[in-house]
Amino acid sequence: MRRDALVLALAALLGGAAGAALADTSRTQEINECRVGEIGTWGDGRDRPALASPLVFTYNPDGAPPWFSASQVADMVAKAAEAWSDCGVRGEVAPWTGAVQPGQVLVQWHQRDSLGNFGLANLDRHTLSLGPGAFQMLRDRNPAHDAGETLQMTLSHEMGHFFGLMAHSRRCVDVLSYYHNGRGGKCFKRDPSAPKLVVEYRHILPTACDIERCRRANGQPPLPGGRLPGR
């Protein structure tokens, strides 16, 4: 069984740190551009082709925290699926009909299946489980934080596993990143001072290097110039 949970910068998010206005040009460049030699992972998994092509997600709003409307979360699922489509595997969203259709990935709110995390992907069961308890804790500890950004990041991160990215990135800005490996290793960035400017350094959607890895895993040609389309 393949399960994977997103670990966020909880010390900052739950501690009430204020998010500064982003004037960090270096971070923006990192998001839109993947330079030679920047792709690196923690070696905690082996990338592979996407679970299906196209990948169809459906969102069940039952059990969602009351401050997230059904349409708001559905729009976030669609935004993440569209962003990941740049890797050459089409991401689609089907309306919730009360039951999961064969081949669909169910996006759900489920405390047990999320194992208390913000989100967890289970590729065997075709589920992406969001943790209501984690988002409640975030709201209780830091009500000023935009939980919508955390939710968008969580969806994008977990959806990346269904598109074939099984290992976690060592590039801090990537939505598939882990900041450290628990053994003293830390993620890398072009400007070492940049993380001090923001509460959460990860992007909320897949970056150019996330997409480049995904294209490699799915046998697609590289992005022209290593840049996201239209950037």
Domain of 89, CATH number, reads 3.40.390.10
Instruction: Indicate the pTM of the whole model.
Output: 0.91
What pLDDT is attached to residue 214?
98
What pLDDT is attached to residue 7?
59
| 204 within a domain of the structure (yes/no) | no
Structural domain for 137, as ranges? 3-15+24-196+210-222
What pLDDT is attached to residue 21?
40
Q: How many domains does the chain have?
A: 1
> Mean pLDDT, to the nearest integer, of 161-176?
98
| 169 within a domain of the structure (yes/no) | yes
| 201 within a domain of the structure (yes/no) | no
| 137 within a domain of the structure (yes/no) | yes
Using CA atoms, how far residue 12 sits from 33, 61, 112, 146, 197, in Å, is 27, 28, 25, 13, 12
Distance CA 214, CA 212 (A): 5
| 188 within a domain of the structure (yes/no) | yes
| 230 within a domain of the structure (yes/no) | no
| 203 within a domain of the structure (yes/no) | no
| 144 within a domain of the structure (yes/no) | yes
